[in-house]
Structure 1
Amino acid sequence: MGKPGKTEKRSKGRPVAASAGVGRDALIKAARELLQELPPEQVTATAIARRAGGDPALVRYYFGNRTNLLLEVAQAIGSETHTEPPASGHPPDLLADFIHATFRFTRSARNMQRLMLNELDSASSGEVRESVRQWNRVPVDHYAAIKALDDGGEGAGDLIDFDPLFLHLAVVGISDFFITGGPLVKLLTPEGTDMDDLAQRYEEFVKRLLLDGLRKRPSGD
Structure 2
Amino acid sequence: MLHSAGSSKKKKVASTPRNAGRPLEKDSVGRTAILEAAIVLLRGKTPEELTLVDVAALAKVDRALIRYYFTDKAGLLKAVAINVMDELQGRSQAMLLQEGSLEEKIRKRFELLIGIMHEIPQFTQLVFKEIYYAENAQEAHGDAPVASQHIVGRGLVLTKALIDSVEVDAIGHEMDPRFLHLMILGSSIFFATSQPLLQVMFGEGFDRKELTDRYIDFATKVLLRGLGASSRGR
Q: What TM-score results when the alignment is normalised by the length of structure 1?
A: 0.70
Q: Relative to structure 2, which stretch is displaced further, 169-178 or 81-90? A: 81-90
Deviations 1:53-75 (A, max 9, x none): 44443321222232332233233
Q: Is the 8 A contact 2:52 2:63 kept in 1?
A: yes
Residue correspondence of structure 1 range 25-174 to structure 2 within 5 A: 25-81=32-88, 82=90, 83=93, 91-123=102-134, 125=138, 129-150=145-166, 156-157=169-170, 159=172, 161-174=174-187
Change (3 A) 1:74 1:128: farther
CA distance in 2, matches of 1:34, 1:128: 30
Q: Any stretches of 5+ residues in structure 1 without a counterpart?
A: 1-10
TM superposition score normalised by structure 2: 0.67
Partner in structure 2 of residue 5 of structure 1: none
- Against the structure 1 CA distance between its residues 95 and 201, is the aligned structure 2 distance closer, same or farther, given a 3 Å change threshold? closer
Counterparts of 1:96 and 1:215, CA distance in 2? 16
The 1:213–1:149 alpha-carbon spacing in structure 2 relative to 1, beyond 3 Å, is: closer
Per-residue deviation, residues 99-156 of structure 1 (Å, max 9, x unmatched): 33333343344422221112222225567831132123222111212323449xxx95
Runs of 4+ in 1 over 4 A off after TM superposition: 20-23, 84-93, 124-128, 155-158
Distance 1:49 1:67 in 2: 15
Residue 194 (1) aligns with residue 210 (2)? no
Identity across aligned pairs (percent)?
Answer: 27
Q: 1:200 to 1:156 in 2, by over 3 A?
A: closer
How far apart in 2 are the matches of 1:158 and 1:24?
A: 46
2 CA distance for matches of 1:72 and 1:128? 17
Work out whether residues 27 and 48 of structure 1, in 8 Å CA contact, stay in contact via their aligned partners in 2. yes
Which one-letter code corresponds to 1:119 in the other structure? E
Give CA-to-partner distance per residue, 1:178-205, whole Å, 9 cap, x none. Answer: 3322233234432332222222222222
Tell which structure's C-alpha radius of gyration is larger.
2
- Deviation string 1:12-69 (CA, Å, 9 cap, x unpaired) is 4549xxxx78653332112111222233333343443344344443321222232332
Q: Output the CA distance in 2 between the equivalents of 1:196 and 1:89.
A: 23
Counterpart-to-counterpart distance in 2, 1:128 and 1:200:
39
Q: Distance in 1 between matches of 2:144 and 2:195?
A: 29
Instruction: Report the count of equivalent residues.
Output: 200
Q: CA RMSD in A?
A: 3.5
Contact map agreement 1:91 1:147 (CA 8 A) in 2:
no
Q: Distance in 2 between matches of 1:100 and 1:169?
A: 16
In 2, distance between residues paired with 1:172 and 1:122? Answer: 17
> CA–CA distance in 1 between the matches of 2:30 and 2:171?
50
Instruction: Confirm or deny: 8 A CA contact 2:156 2:178 kept in the other structure.
Output: yes
8 Å contact 1:106–1:112 — kept in the other structure? yes
Counterpart-to-counterpart distance in 2, 1:62 and 1:214: 45
Q: In the alignment, residue 74 of structure 2 is paired with which amino acid?
A: T
